[in-house]
Every structure is written in C-alpha cells, then in structure tokens.
C-alpha cells in the first residue's frame, strides 16, 4: 500500500508540471530519470520508429555481457564493406573486443558492429536473436532488432522510451559507461572522436549516441548528471537535436531534484540472540524525485530490536519523506542480510526480558535524518 502511495504521489507531482513538448523539433522525445524510472517528458514516446545507429547501444551491451574485453576479433572484408559510417577496421588486423567497442560507440562504425556480431554469435541473425532476448529481459515491448548496426529495415525499430530504458540498463555496466562517455581514443593508429558533441558543449553530459539515416532522420540518445541527479534524453527525427537536448537538460535539472536514501548498510537494526548484534537494512527505492523548490526531511521508522533469526528481504520498517509543500512519500525498509539464531545463546524468559529492556532503553523507535 505504501509503495502504491509513493508511486501515486510521484505521478501527481509529474502531472502537475507538464512538459513543454510543443517547443521541440523532434517527432518523438523522452526525458527519463532512471533511478526512479520516472518519465518527465513523453512526446509520441512509445511509437516504434527507425532508430539508426542508436541500435549500437544494445549491440555494445550484448557484447559486454557475452565476451571478454581482451578477446581477439577477426575482421573480414565483408565487415569492411558494410555501408555507412566506419571505424576503418582493416581486414586481418589485430583487434580486441575493447578496441572494436570504441570504434562502435565513438566512431559509430558499421564495420565494427558487423565484426562484433559475428565474433559474439557467429552470424548477424544469431546476434540479433541475442539482442531481442535482451529486449525481452528489459521489458522493451516496442523494440525489435534484425542487425547490430541500425541500417534501415522495416523489422528493425524501437521507440524513445525503450531507448531511454535500454540506455539506463547499459549505463549500469561500468565498461559501457566508460566507453560511452569517452571523447576520443586512439586504436591501432586511428583516432576515434565521439560523435556526441554534447560531451563538450552540455554541462554534466556523461555519454551519448548519435544515429542518422535519411529515413530515420537525426536520432540522439544522451545522458547527463548534475548535482547527483541523472537524466536520459532521447529524440527521434529531430533536426535540432543538439539544441533540444541542451534545453531539456537545463529545464528539467532546473525544475527537479533527486533526494537519495543511503545505500545498503545505511542503517542497522539491533538483533537479540543472533550470531550478530545487528542487521544491515536497505530501502525499497534508491531515492525520491521531487520539485526543486521544496525542502525535505527523511524519517526512518524501524523496531527498536528484533529477535533472531532475521531473514534477508524481511520487511522491518518504513521510510517517510516529508516535503515543505505538504507532500508525504513512503517506501519500505527491508533487512539487507540474514542474521541466524545463535545456538550457543539459549535465552530463558528472564534473559529475553532483560535483553528487551536493555535494547529498549538504548535504541530509539525511529531514526530521523534531515536531507
């Protein structure tokens, strides 16, 4: 119930600040906050469209999940001859998976995409199957891939919201995140320069991928962080994508704030008769997304103590976030670890009472943290 109230309150906050989507040049657009999964702007965001080289976000993620970075990649003449943008890979040259990933994400090389597909799965068709399996795992219901590079095909499509969610998942991979945000890299004497101009021109930009075909138009996926808040922006068929992304980041970073709760182990709960005296806790949400013009305070309500055993994932309390505008958001608190009963400490009724009295006298019933 509290989870429902949290989602409902957050939805009302989003609806209270409608996006000015009419000012965008894009046919489709999304501004997405990945930690809470909140869509701050949606303009025709779930319509399947051609997405060109932004496909390579999925290509890189699938490769990283199935290949080691130091594996040697065999480049063939067929890879070199794939039409469109190139990483200038030389047939018979010596490359590692990591080398080719830089050519894929920075230089948007279609030759790199084809070489990685064959290396990872043996054929383009088999690799596309892996891509679609990942789509299913991520819940990308409006996406289907038939190739690793994004050249036009009626059966190859995605939508702005799916691209945002895909990018959020990919950014959780530290290698992807590193390459995605690299401006330039020399590989075997060839310098790759990231096509994402926002890395230098937009404050806080930490990555992005461009795409273009005549049929798809200009497609851009980017990610930025400011003051501890991360946003992902996607535009499809947008002739003014650089300006639109920069303006969207200024608008939404200016209007919203991300209030995190501490990570796993951020608080402990006293445990009686356990193999350890305390259990670490975690919250059901990583943080809260709120309008920037409100002040906040977090109250954590947990028991003064519990008797062992404590099960990992056991619900033990609630996090309440109170806002200066009267908004109250709630999330659940769970045990982050298992604490077994200590068999060497048999407790009589008197000993249980004594320990309960001891913990009750020293541990408060609620912990309050101002944010």
Q: Which residues are catalytic?
A: 53, 56, 108
Classify the C-alpha dihedral 66-180-244-230 as positive or negative.
Answer: positive
DSSP 3-state of 318: strand
In angstroms, rounded to a whole number, what is the distance separating the alpha carbons of residues 95 and 87? 12
The phi, psi pair for 364, rounded to 5°, reads: -75, 165
Q: What is the 3-state secondary structure (H, E, C) of 153-195?
A: CCCCEECHHHHHHHHHHHHCCHHHHHHHCCCEEEECCEEEECC
| Alpha-carbon span 74 to 120, nearest angstrom | 11
CA distance 322 to 61: 38
Cβ atoms 198, 146 nearer than 8 A: no
> How far apart are the C-alpha atoms of 263 and 233, rounded to whole Å?
26
Task: Report whether 232 contacts 265 (CB < 8 A).
Answer: no
CA distances from 46 to 34, 82, 161, 170, 236 (A): 17, 30, 6, 20, 11
* DSSP-assigned letter for residue 341: B
Separation between Cα atoms, residue 9 and residue 84, nearest integer Å = 47
3-class secondary structure for 2-58? HHHHHHHHHHHHHHCCCCCHHHCCCCEEEEEECCCCEEEEEECCCCCECCHHHHHHH
| Cα–Cα distance for residue pair 154/147, rounded to 1 Å | 11
CB-CB contact of 108 with 100 (8 Å): no
> What is the maximal distance between C-alpha atoms in the chain?
82
């Amino acid at each position: 119930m509290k989870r429902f109230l949290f989602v409902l309150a957050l939805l009302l906050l989003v609806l209270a600040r409608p996006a000015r989507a009419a000012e965008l040049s894009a046919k489709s657009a999304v501004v997405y906050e990945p930690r809470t999964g909140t869509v701050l702007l949606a303009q025709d965001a779930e319509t399947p469209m051609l997405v060109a080289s932004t496909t390579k976000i999925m290509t890189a993620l699938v490769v990283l999940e199935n290949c080691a970075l130091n594996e040697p990649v065999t480049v063939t003449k067929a890879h070199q001859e794939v039409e469109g943008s190139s990483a200038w890979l030389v047939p018979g040259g010596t490359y590692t998976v990591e080398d080719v990933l830089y050519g894929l994400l920075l230089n948007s090389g279609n030759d790199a995409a084809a070489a990685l597909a064959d290396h990872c799965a043996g054929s383009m068709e088999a690799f596309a199957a892996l891509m679609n399996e990942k789509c299913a795992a991520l819940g990308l219901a409006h996406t289907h891939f038939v190739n690793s590079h994004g050249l036009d095909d009626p059966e190859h499509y995605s939508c702005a919201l799916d691209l945002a969610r895909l990018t959020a998942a990919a950014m959780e991979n530290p290698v992807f995140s590193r390459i995605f945000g690299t401006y330039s890299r020399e590989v075997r004497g060839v310098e790759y320069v990231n096509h994402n101009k926002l890395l230098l021109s937009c404050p806080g930009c930490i990555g992005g991928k461009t795409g273009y075909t005549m049929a798809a138009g200009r497609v851009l996926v980017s990610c930025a962080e400011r003051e501890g808040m991360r946003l992902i922006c996607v535009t499809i068929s947008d002739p003014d994508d650089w300006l639109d992304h920069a303006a969207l980041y200024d608008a939404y970073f200016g209007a919203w704030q991300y209030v995190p709760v501490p990570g796993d182990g951020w608080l402990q709960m006293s445990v009686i008769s356990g193999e350890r005296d305390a259990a670490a806790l975690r919250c059901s949400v990583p943080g809260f997304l709120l309008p920037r013009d409100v002040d906040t305070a977090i109250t954590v309500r947990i028991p003064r103590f519990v008797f062992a055993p404590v099960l990992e994932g056991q619900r033990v309390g609630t996090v309440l976030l109170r806002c200066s505008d009267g908004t109250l958001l709630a999330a659940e608190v769970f045990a982050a670890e298992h604490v077994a009963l200590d068999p060497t400490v048999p407790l009589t009724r008197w000993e249980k009472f004594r320990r309960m009295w001891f913990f009750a006298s020293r541990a408060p019933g609620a912990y309050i943290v101002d944010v």
